[in-house]
Structure 1
Amino acid sequence: MRRLRNLIAAGVLSVAGLTAGAQASGDVAVPPAQEWAHGGVNSFLSFFKGYDYAAVQRGFQVYKEVCAACHSMHLLSYRNLHDIGFNEEEVKAIAASVEVTDGPNDQGEMFNRPGLPSDRFKSPFANKQAAAAANGGKAPPDLSLIVKARSHFEDYVYAILTGYAEAPADAHVPPGGNYNKYFPGNAIAMPMPLFENGVTYADGTKATVPQMAHDVVTFLAWAAEPKLEERRRVGIMAITFLVVFAGVMYAAKRRVWADAH
């Protein structure tokens, strides 16, 4: 059922993303194609490619330390982090680093407690109204399926994160907005989120803006398609079976009809 809900949500968001793209002004730059270890969530030709889990873990760190201040990921639970290489103790520590509201208790009151692996990723805001009020009237989008919800997929999200620049003289950027050459209309409310050495990677990787953008997009791609590798393995097995089966049927046909010729 959860998988069905995810697929429906992805479809709805994809339509919304394509519609927004179609309505965008014609001078919006096309996101440059990037190299992804997994080949891209929408690639049908990358049968033998899989996620770079070191990059996925670094991307989770970028999300946790930068993006999670504004963006939720309500389809993920902390226990899902097992799938990207964190062990049981690490997952428990990550979950316990946040405080969640639970209850009611025996007195009928809500209370706060450390997070558990079974908890969903904590949202930075209590509800959409609070998120909108804190962000100029528009709630930041949930990032659970963001990579699949936009045309150009990973390339688009990467381009947005690295596409901030000084606005040209003829560009119209409203007060409080920011110029981004890859965003429809070129004016985006979100301030530039990534800065050089914005995080300190545990594995010693240099935290440049392109590196952090690539890592967090890899994490977001995994979040949108956590079963990508399994799906591709099943596809390879199915195609292999069909090829072998077709060969066997062809050989049987030739044997059965050999005397007729």
Structure 2
Amino acid sequence: MSSMFRRQLLRSLVVYGSQYRRLSTKQGCSRTKNILLSTLGVIGAGAGALLYALENAVEAGMYVDAAHIPHQPWTHDGWTQSLDHASIRRGYEVYKQVCKACHSCQYLAFRNLVGVSHTEEQAKAEAAEVTVRDGPDETGEYFERPGRLSDYFPGPYPNENAARYANNGSYPPDLSLIVLGRHGGEDYVFSLLTGYVPAPAGVVLREGQNYNPYFPGGAIAMGEILENDAVEYSDGTCATQAQMAKDVATFLRWASEPELDDRRLMSIRLCLWFTLACAMTWFFTKHKWMSMKSRKVAYKPISK
């Protein structure tokens, strides 16, 4: 069960508990039913609040031994801002040239790149660079073919055991939802990629481990993979460590929510339509309906 789903469940417990409490005050309920509903409402709201507090405490305890993650001035902060699509393209290049060697991105398909960071022809060319195992064919045999837009990004390893064997027992996580699955989101990704320092005195690292204060526990199996000029950008941008970390963090932010820009645009449109609807409702209520509601109808019999 994901952290986001658990939070929604705990919030629902609090809301439903409060609704039970209000239901007990309605007329038509016997005294016994009122007491029962009130008790259930208090218990439900209290249990939901307690579980929600425990959830936050557990999440905070997971990162108690990690350094504070500073917030970066992202261009997509705020519900009226959009993602930097040029940065998304550069971030894809960082993932392709550096991160892809160890990390998968299994929930992204090549068709998702169309209209975001690549044209349809460019996305087809990117898909054609990979080889996909397909089948069975008419003879029942599996075969390999060039990738298509409908194919998902292939992983570097066939299974988890192969991944652990190649990385001294450590399993490189999938990066499709890493921004949503880590405390701090893209700030965590940026800080982790740029935060490697020598281990302080008293900290003992095992063979193959590196020290990063932003990683819980400090000891991380992944080494410092982003170095200056480690990537060659197609647009000629200078590939510094901070630039590459910023671009790949933006790419992973988009990968976790490809519909982010569309959802924000829809919310702005809904707010505009809602404002217009409120203005029209006020006008008709004030100048049309109110005159009809407040008029006096009197019956005057005709005298003979």
Tell me the distance in 2 between the aligned counterparts of 1:224 and 1:13: 18
Deviation at 1:197, TM superposition (A): 0.3
Task: Choose between structure 1 and 2: higher helix proportion.
Answer: 2
Deviation at 1:48, TM superposition (A): 2.3
Which residue of 1 is the match for residue 73 of structure 2?
35
CA contact (8 A) 2:106 2:176 kept: yes
CA contact (8 A) 1:62 1:199 kept: yes
Tell me the distance in 2 between the aligned counterparts of 1:119 and 1:165: 39
Q: Which amino acid aligns with 1:222?
A: W
Structure 2: 5+ residue stretches without partners: 9-54, 296-304
What's the TM-score, normalizing by structure 1? 0.86
Which residue of 2 is the match for residue 85 of structure 1?
117
- Farther-moved stretch of structure 1 (59-68 vs 185-194): 185-194
Establish whether residue 125 from structure 1 lines up as the match of residue 153 from structure 2.
no
Deviations 1:176-216 (A, max 9, x none): 21100100111111111211100111111110000000001
> Which of 64, 75, 92 is the matching residue for 1:60?
92
> Which of 47, 59, 82 is the matching residue for 2:79?
47
Tell me the distance in 1 between the aligned counterparts of 2:229 and 2:100: 17
Tell me the distance in 2 between the aligned counterparts of 1:76 and 1:32: 28
Establish whether residue 155 from structure 1 lines up as the match of residue 187 from structure 2.
yes
- Count of matched residue pairs: 247
Tell me the distance in 2 between the aligned counterparts of 1:29 and 1:151: 12
Tell me the distance in 2 between the aligned counterparts of 1:26 and 1:153: 17
Percentage identity across paired residues of the two chains: 43
Deviations 1:160-179 (A, max 9, x none): 11111111012232322110
Greater relative CO, 1 or 2 (CA 8 Å, sep 6+): 1
Tell me the distance in 2 between the aligned counterparts of 1:13 and 1:158: 26
Aligned runs of 1:90-105 on 2, under 5 Å? 90-105=122-137
CA contact (8 A) 2:108 2:152 kept: yes
Tell me the distance in 2 between the aligned counterparts of 1:193 and 1:19: 33
Structure 1: 5+ residue stretches without partners: 1-7, 40-45
- Farther-moved stretch of structure 1 (169-178 vs 94-103): 169-178
Tell me the distance in 1 between the aligned counterparts of 2:232 and 2:125: 18
Distance 1:25 1:223, change over 3 A: closer
Which residue of 1 is the match for residue 204 of structure 2?
172
Q: Which amino acid aligns with 1:244?
A: L
Establish whether residue 257 from structure 1 lines up as the match of residue 290 from structure 2.
yes
Deviation at 1:10, TM superposition (A): 7.8
Tell me the distance in 2 between the aligned counterparts of 1:177 and 1:13: 32
CA contact (8 A) 2:170 2:221 kept: no
- Farther-moved stretch of structure 1 (100-109 vs 75-84): 100-109
Deviation at 1:137, TM superposition (A): 2.3
Establish whether residue 74 from structure 1 lines up as the match of residue 106 from structure 2.
yes
- Partner SS state of residue 100, structure 1: strand
Which residue of 2 is the match for residue 137 of structure 1?
169
> Which of 49, 58, 61 is the matching residue for 1:23?
61
Tell me the distance in 1 between the aligned counterparts of 2:93 and 2:151: 18
Tell me the distance in 2 between the aligned counterparts of 1:25 and 1:9: 17
Establish whether residue 226 from structure 1 lines up as the match of residue 258 from structure 2.
yes
> Which of 171, 178, 182 is the matching residue for 1:146?
178
> Which of 140, 154, 161 is the matching residue for 1:108?
140
- Partner SS state of residue 176, structure 1: coil
CA contact (8 A) 1:21 1:184 kept: no
- Partner SS state of residue 133, structure 2: strand
CA contact (8 A) 2:88 2:117 kept: no
Tell me the distance in 2 between the aligned counterparts of 1:13 and 1:129: 29
Q: Which amino acid aligns with 1:51?
A: L
CA contact (8 A) 2:106 2:174 kept: yes
